[in-house]
Amino acid sequence: MAAVLLSPPVGVADAPADPSAAYDLVIRGGRVVDGTGNPWRFADVAIRGDRIVVVGSVPVDSAARRTIDARGLVVAPGFIDMHSHSDWLLLEDGNAPAKVRQGVTTEILGEDSSGGPQKGKRPPKSVPVKGGEHKIATLGDYFDAAERGGIATNVASYVGLGNIWGCVMGDSFDHPNRAQMEEIKGLLAEALDDGALGLSTMLAGPQEMVCTTEDLVELGRVLHDRGGIFSSHIRNEGSEVFDAIREVIAVGERADIRVDIIHLKIADRRLWGRMREIIALIEEARGRGVDVQSNVYPYTRGNNDLVSIIPPWAHEGGRAALLERLRDPAARERMKKDIRAGIPGWYNHYLSVGGDWGRMLLSARLSEKNRRFESQTMDRILALRAEGMKPAPDPLDQLFDFLVEEDGSIGTIYAHHTEEDMNLAMAQPWCSIGSDGSAFAIEGPLRRGHPHPRNFGTFPRVLGVYVRERGTLRLEDAIRKMTSLNAAKAGLVDRGLLRPGMFADVTVFDPEKVIDRSTYLEPFQYPEGIAHVAVNGRLVLDGGRPTGERPGRALRRKPSGDVAR
């Protein structure tokens, strides 16, 4: 696949254009960074319809419906977000404001929870799109809804293990029997036939803890038969991160499938500084022929929920059962013991930050009763809640009370990994960029909650902080990690490069000004420096302003393993 992706179409070269030809868009005089990792060069880019037709010299007298003067700017392939959660937001507002303003032209959806399937014990969803309600029971239905409603970005998707497991098992934490496992495998095969890129898991989730390595290998063989990729949020990013990485490597090796580790990190302060050992583990596997890679987001804090501190067993049966346990004195005592001592195989957010409540920053909108605690760290909140109480209450009792008051969910940002480890991972040639974010907006219905800044700033942050300010990455390498590397992983054989014959997904930015503006305390800020973005040859961002165009497509994987056009 990489050979197909990185080779120009036969018979098409970077040659001067025919002066008599008409182009829909010509981008003139920019520094072209083509996505291969090769050094930039000055060139023009000409687009006709949805394709790039020239990368080279376009005569000044060539007719074009629109010309963009890109002198002083960088012209790159459109950025491919390898890890996006925009699945349902795109059906609400297909303009994808937070993504197109970052230069994103394709979003890879479906981490563990995908648009489909929704059947069995997970009832189908109905969503409003053009012409009325659209019922979504399969991943194919989701793709149809996205295209019917219109989207500014292209989308491709994994099928989520959470979906296919939940369709069969519901909220139960029981292990599936043989008949149920066959049903899960059938749903996986159906989703792959509908166009899923592969299977994505969130093995750290409370229900998926019952999914064994043998189960993953069995599902992996379904992927192998259809050319799908295994994308995994590993079982434990903290105290057991080495074993968790060994597990997904073993799945890749035994099932003979490609593996992409979601947001590679060491999220436990007791193991900080050991990223070189993680890299050596991956390199050793690659050396013996296992195609294992990873992605990262360029931040050292992760977004989750305060309820993730609660042990897995307390989540079984859904939110109502969880809230009942949070109120029960006997269950509380058991939870306290498990939180402070840990449970084998469980990624414990409390222990990952060393029990330091100051490393937990609330990112949720709270009820009126608790509004004063918004955007504060938990150490401060616990102190305020305990004022005047003698003796001082157990912080975990306060946590349980707080969660009950907020209906069992409080969005939280955990400072659980280091800049040094993240930089080392990001620099690896097999490590690409994904936002782990969604297509929010700074105003209107899509301004909601208190999201992580990665939702608004991931790709400009790489270019502004890690390329221009710190020199962690070369410009050409950073762009490869955001374009062709992700395209190769996903099987997007005709996207991710600026080459004649490729689809015209293009991002134009100012290398001296591009930067993220979103912060942990004030996330609703768009980045700066992204000037123009074209998707399938049509501008969705022009002069830094959204055009309202929705030329995006659902990119369905074909049986060959490549992605349909």
Give me the residue spans of the domains in the chain: 158-261+264-298+417-429, 304-414
Instruction: Report the alpha-carbon distance of residue 151 to residue 167 in Å, rounded.
Output: 27
Spatial CB neighbours of 389, under 8 Å, sequence gap ≥ 6: none
Written as one string, the DSSP assignment of 448-463 is -S---THHHHHHHHII
Burial bucket for residue 392 (CB in 10 Å: 0-12, 13-18, 19+): exposed
CATH 1.10.357.10 for domain 158-261+264-298+417-429, yes or no, is: no
Report helix, strand or coil for 546: strand
Query: Cis before residue 460, ω within 30 degrees of 0?
Result: no
Q: In sequence order, what E strands does 235-363 have? A: 258-261, 292-296, 302-305, 360-362
In 3-state terms the chain splits into helix, strand, coil percentages (rounded to 5) of 35, 20, 45
pTM: 0.89
Give dist(CA 102, CA 457) in Å, integer: 7
State the helix-helix crossing angle for 161-169 and 178-194, rounded to 10 degrees. Answer: 140
> In sequence order, which ranges of 288-434 are alpha helices (DSSP H)?
319-327, 329-341, 349-352, 378-385, 395-405, 419-426
Rg (C-alpha) for the chain, rounded Å, is 24
pLDDT score at 7: 33
Residue 40 Cα distances to 64, 72, 475, 531, angstroms: 24, 13, 9, 18
Look-up: residue for tokens 């134009």? 508
pLDDT of residue 21: 61
One digit per residue, the tens of pLDDT, for the chain of length 565 reads 333 333 333 333 444 445 556 899 999 999 999 999 999 999 999 999 999 999 999 999 999 999 999 999 999 999 999 999 999 999 999 999 999 999 999 999 999 999 999 999 999 999 998 878 899 999 999 999 999 999 999 999 999 999 999 999 999 999 999 999 999 999 999 999 999 999 999 999 888 989 999 999 999 999 999 999 999 999 999 989 999 999 999 999 999 999 999 999 999 988 999 999 999 999 999 999 999 999 999 999 888 899 999 999 999 999 999 999 999 999 999 999 999 999 988 888 898 888 999 999 998 889 999 999 998 999 999 999 999 898 989 999 999 999 999 999 999 998 888 999 999 999 999 999 999 999 999 999 999 888 899 999 999 999 999 999 999 999 999 999 999 999 999 999 999 999 999 999 999 999 999 999 999 889 999 999 999 999 999 999 999 999 999 999 999 998 766 665 5
Q: How far apart are CA 208 and CA 256, in angstroms?
A: 22
What are the tokens at 167?
Answer: 């369709």
